[in-house]
Amino acid sequence: MTNATVSARSNSSLKQNESPSALMSRLFAATAAIGFFAGKAHADKPTLNWNFAGTLNQRGSCTGPPGAERPSCADATPGNSSTSFAANPTLNDGTIVAQPVGAYNDKDYISFSNLDDFQVTPFFNETVCYHLQYQVPGGGQSMGKFKPTIYYYFGVSLILEGGHMAFEVYYEDAAANGKTGSVDGNECTVYRFDCAAHPDYDPNCEFYDFCVTDDGHLLELNTSSTMGTADPNKKLHISTSIQVNDFTANPPASTFDVPVDKSECLDLKSQDFNSLPPATARAHSLETQVNDPERLRVLNEEASSLGWVAARSEFFDNWTIANTSVLTQADWRFGPLAYPDHYDVEGGSNATIPASFDARTEWKSCSSISAIRNQGACGSCWAFAAMESLADRYCVADSTKYADLTLSAQYAMGCDTISHGCNGGYIDQIWEFLQDNGTTTET
C-alpha cells in the first residue's frame, strides 16, 4: 500500500487469540488510500503517560443487516483477548513485558536499547528462554521503537501518509466531549476523535474515544468503524474496546527483570551476514538456493567439528533460503546457535556421557526413529516433532508392539485449537493437548 502500512507482529510470543494489531490490520486492510490529516491540536489534554502495568482486555462486537455476507459478522467480529502488560518508557530506551492470559503463558521481556526480546516459556516443570530479535511493528523504526509497540498493543498500528503514526494523530486532534469514564474505580476523561468531521481521512472510521486520567494514563480505548460487504447497500458496524484493568502507575523496575540467567537463553537474534567473507555471505544469502553446491561446501566447512554433514535434499530443489520461511515462520536469519555451557545431567558429576550415540542402531526395529517425514510447505514442525517423539518413546518401551507405529500429525494440526496449524504452534501446548486428549495413528 502506498498511502498506509498496516503492521502485524512476527514473535513467537508472540505468541493464541487474535491480537489487537491483527484485528485492526484486518479491519483497515480494505482502505484503498489514507491521507494525512493535520488537525488542530487540543491543548486541554494531558500528555500520555506510558509508565504503567495492568491487564489489557480486548472485547469486540459486530452488528449488521440480516443477510450481509462476504464478510459477515461471523467473519469480522473482533476477537476477545487478555494480555498481562507492563511498560516503562525510560528504562533501557523503553521496556515492555507482555504475557497472554490463557492456556499458553509465554512471556516477552522486550528491551528497546538493542531490540532484545527474551521470551520465557514454561515447559512442564522447566523453563525455556529464547533470545530473539524484536521486530518493531510497522516494518521500520523511523517512528521510534517503544511507542509504535505500545500503539500496536492498543490496536492502532496504522502508519499514515508521511510516516505519521495514526494513534498520535487521532489523540492529538481528539477533544473532550463532556463524558467521563471509570475503570476499576479509576476515573478518566473521554477525548473523542470524530472521524465524521474528516471524511477524506478514512471513510470507514466513525470515532475513537480515549479515556485518560488527569496524569495521562490511557485506561480505555473504544473504537467504532464500518466495513463494506458484497452488497453495497449493506455495511457492518464494528466496535472494539480495550480496557486496562488491574491498573498500576509507575511499576517498580524489578517488574522488568528477566527471571532467568540471560546467558542460559538460546540466542536466536538476527545476524548481519554482510560483514562475513564473500563466500560465506553468499552461502547465507536469502537468494541462494538451499542445495547450492558452494553453499553446502561452506556449511560443511563451518560444521567440520560438529559431527554432521550437510548434503543435497531433493525436497529443497529449487528452493531459496527465503522460501524456507514458510516452514520456520521466521522472517530473519540467525547465526550459529549459542547453547549454554552446562546441562543438568542425571547422576550429576559421576554420570558418564558417551562420545557418540545413535538411536537408530540402539533401537533398530523402531521404524519411527529412522523415518524422516515430509511436512510439505507447511509450518507444522511442532506437530510432527511431538508425534514422532511420542511414537519413538512408545517403541522404545515396547519395540515388538510398536515397531511400525506412526502417529497422526494431521490430527494434532486439526484438533489442537490453541496452536495454528500450518502457521506454527507451541511445543509445550501440543504435549499438554496429547496428555489431555490422546491421539490417533496415521492411516
pLDDT of residue 357: 87
Handedness of CA 349, 352, 357, 360 (dihedral sign): negative
**Domain count for the chain:** 3
Calculate mean pLDDT across residues 227-256: 93
Domain boundary among 342, 372, 391: 342
Task: Please report which confidence band the pLDDT of residue 48 belongs to, taking 50, 70 and 90 as the band edges.
Answer: very high
CB 249 within 8 A of CB 229: no
Q: Do both 72 and 168 map to the same domain?
A: yes
| pLDDT given for residue 338 in this prediction | 54
Verify that 166 and 256 share a domain, yes or no. yes
**Which pLDDT score is estimated for 437?**
93
Query: Is 297 found in the same domain as 208?
Result: no
What's the mean pLDDT in 395-423?
Answer: 91
**Residues 47 and 133 placed together within one structural domain of the fold:** yes
- Contact 83/153 with Cβ under 8 angstroms? yes
Task: Using the predicted structure, report yes or no on whether residue 417 has a pLDDT greater than 90.
Answer: no
Q: Which residues lie across from 379 on neighbouring strands?
A: 423
Lowest mean pLDDT among 177-191, 211-225, 394-408, 422-436: 422-436
Domain containing 411 equals 354-443
Residue 392 has pLDDT above 80, yes or no: yes
Task: Note whether 189 and 241 are same-domain residues.
Answer: yes
Residues above pLDDT 90, as percent of the chain: 47
Give the pLDDT of residue 23. 35
Cα–Cα nearest to 10, from 19, 168, 158: 19
Q: What percent of the chain has pLDDT over 70?
A: 82
If pLDDT is split at 50, 70 and 90, which confidence band does 372 have? confident
Domain-located, residue 9:
no
pLDDT band of residue 436 (cuts 50, 70, 90) is very high
Mean pLDDT of 257-271: 86
Residue with cell 566447512: 301
pLDDT at 2 over 80: no
Largest CA distance in the chain: 78
The sign of the CA dihedral 420, 424, 428, 433 is positive
Average pLDDT, the chain: 82
10 confidence band (pLDDT: 50, 70, 90): very low
Q: What is the pLDDT of residue 143?
A: 63
Last residue of a domain, one of 262, 295, 312: 262
pLDDT of residue 89: 96
From 26-40, 367-381, 427-441, the region with the lowest mean pLDDT: 26-40
Query: Where on the phi/psi map is residue 250: left (φ > 0), alpha (ψ -120 to 50), or beta?
Result: left
DSSP 220-270: EEEEEEEEE-SSTT-EEEEEEEEEEEEEEES--GGGG--SS-GGGSEE--B
Residue 34, pLDDT > 70, answer: no
pLDDT of residue 157: 82
Q: What is the pLDDT of residue 351?
A: 66
Residues 6+ apart with CB under 8 A from 228: 30, 204, 235, 236
What's the mean pLDDT in 108-135?
89
State the number of CA atoms in the 13 A half-sphere of 25 facing the CB.
16
Please report the pLDDT score of residue 426 as a whole number.
Answer: 78
Where is pLDDT greater, at 68 or 280?
A: 280
**116 and 203, same structural domain?**
yes
Neighbours of 155 (CB within 10 A): 25
Classify residue 397 as exposed, middle or buried by CB count within 10 Å of its CB (0-12, 13-18, 19+).
exposed
State mean pLDDT over 133-137. 85
Residues 78 and 223 in one domain: yes
Based on the fold, state whether residues 313 and 361 are members of the same structural domain. Answer: no
Residue 88 has pLDDT above 90, yes or no: yes
- Three-class SS of residue 34? coil
